[in-house]
Structure formats: structure tokens, C-alpha cells
Amino acid sequence: MSDQQLLEIVKNALIKSPWVSHLNCGSCNGCDIEILAVLTPRYDVERFGIKLKGSPRHADVLLCTGSVTRSMAPRLKRIYNQMADPKFVVAVGSCATNWGVFHNCYNTLGGIDKVVPVAMYIPGCPPRPEAIVFGVYKLLLKLASLDLEKQEEKDSVSNLTQEPIRSEEVTT
Amino acid sequence: MKISMEEIKKEVKTMESRELSDQTPVLRVEPNRLLEEMRKLYDLGLTHLSTIIALQVDNKIQIDYPLSSPLNKKLAPAIFVETIVSMDKPKISTIEDIYPSAVTYEREVTDLLGVEFIGADHRDKLLLPDDFPDNLYPLRKDYTGKELQQKLDELGVGYNPTIPLKEEEDYVMAVGPQHPTHKEPIRFKFTVEGEDIKNVELRLGFNHRGIEKALEQGTWIKNLYLIERICGICSSAHQLAYVLTAEKVDKILDQVPDRAQWLRVLVSELERIHSHILWYGVLAHDGGYDYMFHITWRDREDVMDLLEMWTGNRVNYAMMTIGGVRRDIDENLRKKMIIKLKKLRKNISKHKEVMEKEKTFLARIKNVGYLSKEDAIRFGAVGPTARASNINFDLRKDVPYAAYKEIPFKVYYRSEGDVYATMAVRLDEALESVEMCLYVLENLPTGDIAIKVKTRLQEGEAHTRVEAPRGEDIHYILSDGKNAPYRHKVRAPTLANITSLMYRFKNMQVADIPMIIRSIDPCIGCMERVTFVDAKTGKTKEISGQELISKANRRYRLNEKIKIFEV
Ligand code: SF4
């Protein structure tokens, strides 16, 4: 099998069934319970092949909630480094996007993108489950349009972060 | 013979006594007599220490110990014991021998205000990051929040990805999406011998954001929205405690309209229902009973719909305001809510029927993580955790606030003291809450929903304890007449339950860890990594929370032994 074929398979697998992992970096829990609601029968993202994994090593997408606390920042970085390429980070919630309500708190650093590159922002406090589904769907669209051949040369992540996609039309 | 407050006051040698704005008695004792007086008060029945409130006043540090009794109803409202120490090298003796739950509160005070507790073992940081500078204490008034933030940025706290994370302490993350009920990632270190748990250690604070300091820079109104984001699951409990305290400080509590107080109860009870369903759903999941997890969460969406119909948001409802509530209910909405609530009642009864009878599931939770009544009192357990250990105490009944006095309801408590009992109590409470909501909707008084208040509150000091879904939640405010609090102290229920949780692990097996942790409904990120230490060889090993749960499930299903260490 040629490299090109292999890459195609990887890409297809990624779009058809992205595995996500979830990390609480200092959130209020609001976004976390909404992420869980996305899994349960009413919203049921598993029908799109999205599966939640406990370990970031198995995941393609990391869903981060909360503004990063000073204690979690080094850990977030580590967990990010443990994920296999290609990998994407989704910032769920206003405080993960842009510090939000915690901007006065001394032990927080700011949005997730202060620490790791973010591919996708889902604002809302908390975003509705529909918004989270929509956000992940937008990410998949973006992935589908990737040219993996070039992608290998360029860094897939930095490429994505240059033009972040926002799904605010859902929440506003 | 049950002793009353007046008699208590006579027993204690006070330097002076005063009252908070809400008439809570404050007994000020000399620092060197603290231990003695505390022991006396404990023996008189004031066995529950809610938290330790410390604050800087001028050049002194004032430390308050709110005490109350879960058994003697006359002493249910809190009484404050206060002592004052000087600012340079503040020292006070520890009370951990009398109140074991004081350990976490004392460690918190040491972290945030630099008070040393004499007689305590060497204590590591509990809340602040490992690389936080040693002689910087966030809650002292040396720096404003902004300055503190700048200083920490200059020092690069948290920026350095290569800080030497302690060998076994690094790599902690909130457990995967199946466990999002957690407010902050927490780390347990278990010492095991074979499959038996010998010892547990704990590290908190991965989610410490510094909200208390930030509150001092907000305004009374702005703080409403930061307060509810302490925890997204009990957001309205925190908000309610805050507005009640602020109203007590401003002495307007009796002017708040009845309708507002009733609506406050309604939103609190709806929140309790959603929180309890969430809890026992995740309990089922942890016990390998995923079918029930999905069923309960499907039915939970009904409460979320109710909350959304009324408040406009599914989480963080922003319903409370100082002087009332922010949204009214009209006739149309009222009828719709009643229909939904009746459906909910039917569903919850079904959950109850299934979860209390399913044999394989019961095998996982019966006789697991036992906590006796005496221990629950000694370790200061609160809420459903305490009620599962045969303590008939509920702040809604015993220290009524908002409109709870006028609404009939029953307090459920059980004597088993195991994980099963904590589940049964919550199932009953969820059903009772549905009844309460229906009662509120059918008997709602007419009138305004809020009064106008000034943007600055009077000078004063007050505290409130409310029954959040997880137990007692205490807020304390000191106002100096400006447009922000001088000090605002919050103690969420989970911190109170941590001490008894550690105790529950004694003599249990590794396979029971996930269920026991779940028993207190931790509003903290659970263990993605759990560290095990072999008691014989001292070897350590980490495994992930997910792995642990699947091992535990296999242990029960296939009777496979759990091997952490190769023999
Ligand atoms: S965005 Fe809002 S709901 Fe989500 S974690 Fe932050 S504060 Fe909580």
C-alpha cells in the first residue's frame, strides 16, 4: 500500500469516527455536564461515530473546558503532547474560548489557546448541546477539506489555528 | 438534656461577645484558650464545624469557626467562635484533634492567608500550584487581584511546562466525559496490600481559580454571575446563599416579596432534581450499568427543559438577584410546568423501582463504603451523605430559609450508611422535590417578584447556610459599605464531605474505589490517574480511572482478581 493510500484511510477514519477526550482545565462544570448530555439519548453523538475515550492517547480531538488554571496549564500541555498526530483541540465554552467570567481570578491564565493551539471555539456559557454538536460537525467539515498530502509537510494543527472557525451563529 | 444557646454562652470564657447583622452570636476567645474552649463546645454538642473563615482586618488576622449541632435542634443555627492573631508570623493551635474535618479548612487558610497551625503535621499545599511563591498569600490585602495577577505572570507561575512535577503527583486530569460531574480534578494516592486499601492521600486545587479574591474586585451585582459559576451544577444554591447573605447584611431580608421567596424555592428544587438524577445516573455508569445511565439521563432532559422554559438557560440560570428573583412565571408556563413535572414524577418512580431492586447492581453498592453515624458526625459529613448515615438533619427544615417554612416536605434519612443508602436517600429526595415543586406551583402567592435595592450595601457581616444538592453550602460576607464585599468566603459542600470520604476507604477493596468516590457525589474532577503504593515494597504504580472502573467491573462480573502489582 502506498503512503498516499494510507493517508487517505487515516483521513477517512478521522472524519467518519473521531474519538474525543475531555479535559476540565478549571471550568465551573457547566460545560462538562453539557458535554455529557451530548452523549446521552436525546443528542446522542455516537450516531455520528463520535466516541468519547477516557485516555487522550486514544483520542483525535481534545474537548477542553474552563479557563486554564495555573495548576492545570503544565498538565494540559503534557496531555496535548501525549496525543497522537493529527490532533485537534476544541475549546468548549466562553471561559475556554476567551477567559470569560474568570478574567479577574489570579490563578487562571486565560483561554485554552494561551497554552495549546486551538482548532475550534464554541462560545456560550455553557454552549447548548446542539452548539457543541454543531461545533464538532464544523470541525469535521474542515477536516474533510484538508489536503493530507500537504498536511504532512505543514503542521496540521497550526494550519487550522490560523483561521479558527467559530460556531457562534448557533448560540446567538 | 438538650442544652440551649444561652447556656452555651455562659459556659465559654469570652473576651467579648457581639452579633453579626443576622443576629448570629460571636464569641471571641483568646488565641491561647481556643483549644480548651473548642473542646468544651464540642462536648456540649456543637459537633459540626462548617468551615474556617479567615480574613485580614487592619494588621490582624481574624479567624472564625462557625459551629452548630446536627443532633440538637436548638443548636442548629450556627454560632461563631472567633479569635484574632497578629499579622507577622500568625500562629494558632490546630483543632484537628477535636474536629478532624478542620484539616482541610486549616490547610486552606495556611495556603491563602499564611496562618500557621501549631501542632499539625507537616502539610503540603492543598489549593495553590506547586510553583506558587512561598511567602505570597493571595487573600491578604497586600495586593489587589490585578496586582497579584501581574506579579504571578512576572514570576511565570504556571507558564513553565517543565516544572518538576512531583514523581507521583503529575499527570492528573479530570476523568473522561463520563465523569463530568467534577468540579476540579483531584488526586488520590492509595496505599494497597494486595487488593485491600490501607491508606489514602489527597491533593486538591487543580481547579482553584481564585474566585474569592476576584469577588472583592467586582460589584455586588456583577458578583451574582461569578458566584453561580463556582459550580455549574449547584449554581442556584450558591447564588441563593449569596443573595440571602447580602440581604441580611443590608437588612432588607424581611422586605423581599413572598412570591420571590417561593420562586427561589422552585428553582432550587428543580436544580436538586437535575443534580440528583445526574448523580445516580453516573453511579449506575460507574457500576457498569450503562443502560440505566442512559435511561436516567434521557429523563433528566425533562428537568432541563423545565429550567430552560422558565429561565432561558439550561445551566447557570441567573435567576436570583439581591431583593428578589429575575423572572416571573405566567399562567401558561405554570400549566406546562405542572404537566412536565407529573411526567417526571412517573419517571423518577420508575428509576427508584429499578435501581433499588436490580440485584447485580445492588451487589456493587450494598455494604460498600460504610460510614457509621458517629463517624459521620465526627468527620463533619453534610447533606445526603450524612442523611445516609442516619442523621436526621436538613437545613431546609432545621434552619429554614427562603420559603421553606411554608412548604410541607419530608426529610429522608436511612440507617445503612453505605453507598446504597446514599443512593436511596437521593432517589427519595428527588421524588420529594417534585412534590415540592408541584406544591409551589399550585400555591404560589401573588405579588411582586423583586424590590429595588441600592448598588451599595450597608456595612455589616452575615452568613447563610443553604442545603445545596450535595449538602450544606456556607457563604459569609463582610461589607465595609463600598460597592464590593471586603471579604466573601464560600465553602462548597464537597469539601466538607472529603474527610469522611477518606475514611470510607478503610478496609475496602480496590474494586470498590469508583463507587465509594461516587457516594459523596464529588463535585470535583475525579481521578484520571490513581496512584497505588504497594504497602510491602513501597513500589508505586499509576492506572487511569477508566481502567480502574473496567477492572472493578470485571472483578464483580467475572470474579477476576485485580492485579495492580505483579507478584
Ligand atoms: S463557559 Fe460558563 S458554563 Fe462553561 S465552564 Fe465556563 S463558566 Fe462554566
Q: Mean pLDDT in each 10-residue stretch from start to end of chain B (567 residues)? A: 70 76 84 86 86 87 89 83 86 86 85 84 74 81 82 76 44 32 54 66 72 85 86 87 90 88 92 90 82 89 90 87 89 91 92 88 82 86 88 88 89 88 91 92 89 86 89 89 87 80 73 68 43 56 60 62 52
All three cell numbers of B103: 484539616
Where is the domain boundary, B491, B519, B541?
A: B491
Consecutive H or E run containing B533 = strand B529-534
- Amino acid B438: pLDDT: 92
Angle between helices A30-39 and B290-311 (to 10 degrees): 120
- Amino acid B202: pLDDT: 66
> How far does A31 lie from chain B, in Å, by closest CA?
8
CATH number at residue A110: 3.40.50.12280
Tell me, yes or no, whether B149 lies in a domain: no
All three cell numbers of A58: 486514544
- Judge whether A51 is closer than 8 Å to chain B, CB to CB: no
Q: Is the CB of B180 under 6 A from ligand 1?
A: no
Tell me, yes or no, whether B335 lies in a domain: yes
- Partners of B169 on chain A (C-beta within 8 Å) are none
Consecutive H or E run containing B48 = strand B48-49
Asked if residue B289 and residue B202 are part of one domain, the reply reads no
Where is the domain boundary, B473, B491, B509?
A: B491
Query: Which pairs with CB-CB distance under 8 Å and at least 24 residues apart come from B117-122?
Result: B117/B91, B117/B92, B117/B93, B118/B91, B118/B92, B118/B93, B118/B94, B119/B93, B119/B94, B120/B94, B120/B96
Asked if residue B360 and residue B233 are part of one domain, the reply reads yes
Q: Would you call B183 and A29 a contact, using CB atoms and an 8 Å cutoff?
A: yes
Where is the domain boundary, B96, B128, B160?
A: B128
Asked if residue B97 and residue B203 are part of one domain, the reply reads no
Asked if residue B236 and residue B322 are part of one domain, the reply reads yes
The list of chain A residues with pLDDT below 50 reads: 152-172
Residue for grid cell 473521531: A18
ipTM over 0.90: no
Q: Would you call A106 and B182 a contact, using CB atoms and an 8 Å cutoff?
A: no
Asked if residue B390 and residue B475 are part of one domain, the reply reads yes
Asked if residue B368 and residue B240 are part of one domain, the reply reads yes
- Amino acid B559: pLDDT: 57
Strand B25-28 to strand B48-49: parallel, antiparallel, or no bridges (unpaired)?
Answer: unpaired
Strand A88-92 to strand A61-65: parallel, antiparallel, or no bridges (unpaired)?
Answer: parallel
Mutate to test the interface with B, among A40, A45, A70, A114 (most CBs of B within 10 A): A70
Asked if residue B195 and residue B63 are part of one domain, the reply reads no
Tell me, yes or no, whether B147 lies in a domain: no
Asked if residue B413 and residue B309 are part of one domain, the reply reads yes
- Amino acid A169: pLDDT: 34
Q: Would you call B165 and A33 a contact, using CB atoms and an 8 Å cutoff?
A: no
- As a whole number of angstroms, the longest Cα–Cα distance in chain B is 72
Question: How many domains, chain A?
Answer: 1
Asked if residue B178 and residue B223 are part of one domain, the reply reads no
Domain around B384: 211-491
Question: How many domains, chain B?
Answer: 3
Tell me, yes or no, whether B138 lies in a domain: no
- Amino acid A71: pLDDT: 79
Q: Would you call B159 and A73 a contact, using CB atoms and an 8 Å cutoff?
A: yes
Asked if residue B231 and residue B316 are part of one domain, the reply reads yes
Alpha-carbon span B334 to B306, nearest angstrom: 10
Asked if residue B86 and residue B59 are part of one domain, the reply reads yes
Asked if residue B290 and residue B183 are part of one domain, the reply reads no
Tell me, yes or no, whether B148 lies in a domain: no
All three cell numbers of B34: 481556643
CATH number at residue B13: 3.30.460.80
- Amino acid B364: pLDDT: 80
- Amino acid A58: pLDDT: 81
Q: What are phi and psi of A56, to 5 degrees?
A: -65, -20
Tell me, yes or no, whether B486 lies in a domain: yes
Nearest alpha carbon, ligand 1 atom 6? A95
- Amino acid B341: pLDDT: 92
Domain around A12: 3-171
The one-letter amino acid at B227? I
